[in-house]
Structure 1
Amino acid sequence: MNQHFQKDCAEILTERHAKGQISRRQMMAGLGALLGTTTLGLGARGAQAAEGQLVFVNWGGDALDAMDAAFGQPFTAESGIKVLYDGSGPTEGAIIAQSKSGSPTWDLVDAEPFSAQALGRQGMMTPIDYDIVDPAKQREGFGWEYASSCYFYSYVIAYDATQFETPPTSLADFFDAENFPGKRAMYKWGAGMWEAALLADGVAPEDLYPLDLDRAHKKIEAFKEHIGAFWGGGAESQSLLLNGDVSMALIWNTRATLLHKDTEGEITYTYDDGIIGPGGIAVLEGNPGGTEAAMQYIASTQVPERQVELFMLLGNGPSNPAADSLIPEDERRFNPMDPANLPKQVALDMDWYETNYSAALDAYLQIISA
């Protein structure tokens, strides 16, 4: 799920630059803050580890050129350690191959926390050193043994406000096509959709996990006639609402914020019944740049001002709660982790996803493709 979201963030920055909404420097700084790296125009073979540098592997994309990164450049200035970006993609298979090679060339990876946990239990990831990475600069409950949180996003109810006299305020409303008529859109890759279906079906947030997949899939299958599309990327989710193909959609808050601003609130969203997803950073076991340097890098990403810069460009929620109050007051309502928004939402349970995601997704895809 995280890889799709991060690719979409890069798309958003590129689109905003093309529209003249942000400068090239801001686009590069945003990409740098998102990726935590300095990209150096690497070839197909990717980055190779060397003394005095770290290789951070992310999901890449054509938009990612050479840049001075908002995270990477300050870290280099502080430590003298250069950070290189490799966009070849840290899939589980690639990480496993790195580990089994006995001589990994990667240091850090953008990892879904549940994936980092699973690989860490197999000896492939290094435990986060919380003597270096400050747990007080993480939100409670969002630090893991093998991954450190670096940003947040939410699945939210976005809707065409011109179509509803009374706006939706819950997932029960989303699944209520009688009182809230119109087609809906849901996420193709499952994450958050099981939680949405169960919350709409009356399950209390504190009782969500372990997810009752049979009940969730039954709810979604019964509602399929009202679903206009299952979106796979953020641009698609945005266009479905802009083009009027659907009147309501469960989409990432980053795209929902763009819709709200671009349409002056004609298409808007609510954090009521939002579903929070965390993004994480993990370190390969035996990384060539050294465990201490990798942990120092992760600690440097906790600086609140750097996280605010990413939020202002993309809408990603800061992982350091101290950043919330640094966000301009008129922008705080868009922050998924703001104290006014956070209590309205429920977070994805990384322990459950670690064990169940693969099988759950297979079953979900069978239902939505039938």
Structure 2
Amino acid sequence: MSVTPSPFRLHRRLLLGAALATPALHAGRAQTQGEVIVRTPGGSYDDVMRRFVYDPFTAETGIRVTVVAATAAKLIAMFRANNVELDLIDTGDAQLLTLERLGALAPIAYDRWRWSKPEDITRQVRNPHRVGNFIYASVLAYNTETFRGDNHPKSWADFWDAGKFAGPRMLADMASGSANLEFALLADGVPRDQLYPLDVDRALRVMTRIRPQIRRFWDTGALAAQMLSDREVVLGSIWNGRLQTVIDSNAPLAYTWNEHMIQVQSLGIFKDARNVEGAQRLADFMLQPQIQAQYAKALVFGPTNERAFESYTPEEAARTPGGENSRRTGFYQDVAWWHENRDRVSRTWSRWLLR
């Protein structure tokens, strides 16, 4: 029985054939041509990255960038089946850590960077097999018509105070990546620097107290933004980028930076990728300060290259995750703890939801 090759394999074979047919006189140029296939979050993110990263990279190197959608489960399945059909992975740091522990990722070639300097990358996100390409945050958002002036929740303890700050609420579900156990522990008086290892049982006891006021546990950023926009809820946790888009559309919403959770989107490269070298070059190109500042500002995320902040105004820096203000009032999510405990927490969370 004949098997039709996938479009990725056909395309790669055509490119390889073209390279082999190129006269030796043009070998130098042939080395700069080809394609890097990138896993991305999709949507408007791709439009921003195409404008500020992918097209400029192609103009600089001759390497075309193709974006595809792929879940974490699909990425793992690709690796286990020895059928890797993409090169660079742009996804949450926790998902990349899972792939790293499976032995799926190539080392980041920091020693060969020519556009970026490794020492300029924030230390917390510079790892041997993955490197952060932007910072985002989970923040406490509220409706400014419900909570007017200075009479709004300023901490997770306030969020849990349904008597003083009444109204329907939302929090993240495990399906979003992780449940907001950290916020429950903060509400119960645990200091930010003593959250990990998370006391899951304690966190769920605290969750039980607020559960009657929770309209829904959201599983996507789009749902969280919609619930706030439609006033289905008047306060809750949400990713800052999703929230800022709604605020910029004149929705009566605001948020506090106090006790926000800093999270990381990272780059990783499949060790069995067809174009490891091209993926390494794209990662290097993407993280240079002037490039990163452009896409981070457009997406309302924070840069991981410290020098990118040189092009920020004080107002821009003040609302940027990972910046000075953010580090003073927030905390980094411990993705290693979540990796090691996700299955246990998922089972416990599922049982708690059924009570």
Secondary structure (helix, strand or coil) at the match of 1:323 reads helix
Distance 2:304 2:211 in 1: 35
Is residue 156 from structure 1 mapped to residue 139 from structure 2 by the alignment? yes
Return the match for 1:129 from 109, 112, 128: 109
Contact residue 90 and residue 109 of structure 1 kept, 8 A: no
Change in 2 beyond 3 A, CA 1:288/1:160: same
Kindly state the Cα deviation for residue 106 of structure 1 after the two structures are TM-superposed.
1.8
1:204 paired residue number: 191
Distance 1:286 1:141 in 2: 26
Distance 1:280 1:336 in 2: 15
Kindly state the Cα deviation for residue 98 of structure 1 after the two structures are TM-superposed.
2.8
Contact residue 111 and residue 147 of structure 1 kept, 8 A: no
Contact residue 58 and residue 90 of structure 1 kept, 8 A: no
Give the alignment of 1:227-238 within 5 angstroms: 227-238=214-225
Is residue 343 from structure 1 mapped to residue 328 from structure 2 by the alignment? yes
Kindly state the Cα deviation for residue 316 of structure 1 after the two structures are TM-superposed.
1.4
Higher normalized helix content (fraction of residues): 2
Letter of the 2:275 partner, please give it.
G
Superposition RMSD in Å: 2.7
Distance 1:258 1:85 in 2: 23
Give the alignment of 1:205-354 within 5 angstroms: 205-263=192-250, 266-290=252-276, 292-354=277-339
Could you list the runs of 5+ residues in structure 1 that have no partner in the other structure? 1-43
Contact residue 99 and residue 285 of structure 1 kept, 8 A: no
Contact residue 8 and residue 85 of structure 2 kept, 8 A: no
Contact residue 40 and residue 46 of structure 2 kept, 8 A: no
Kindly state the Cα deviation for residue 158 of structure 1 after the two structures are TM-superposed.
0.6
Kindly state the Cα deviation for residue 139 of structure 1 after the two structures are TM-superposed.
1.1
Could you list the runs of 5+ residues in structure 2 that have no partner in the other structure? 1-5, 17-33
Kindly state the Cα deviation for residue 59 of structure 1 after the two structures are TM-superposed.
4.2
TM-score w.r.t. the length of structure 2 is 0.82
Distance 2:179 2:307 in 1: 27
Distance 2:200 2:315 in 1: 39
Kindly state the Cα deviation for residue 358 of structure 1 after the two structures are TM-superposed.
3.1
Distance 2:76 2:217 in 1: 31
Contact residue 173 and residue 179 of structure 2 kept, 8 A: no
TM-score w.r.t. the length of structure 1 is 0.79
Kindly state the Cα deviation for residue 76 of structure 1 after the two structures are TM-superposed.
2.1
Kindly state the Cα deviation for residue 54 of structure 1 after the two structures are TM-superposed.
1.6
Is residue 361 from structure 1 mapped to residue 320 from structure 2 by the alignment? no
2:122 paired residue number: 139
Kindly state the Cα deviation for residue 238 of structure 1 after the two structures are TM-superposed.
2.3
Kindly state the Cα deviation for residue 161 of structure 1 after the two structures are TM-superposed.
2.4
2:31 paired residue number: none
* Range moving further from structure 2, 343-352 or 109-118: 109-118
Query: What is the aligned-residue identity percentage?
Result: 27
Letter of the 1:252 partner, please give it.
W
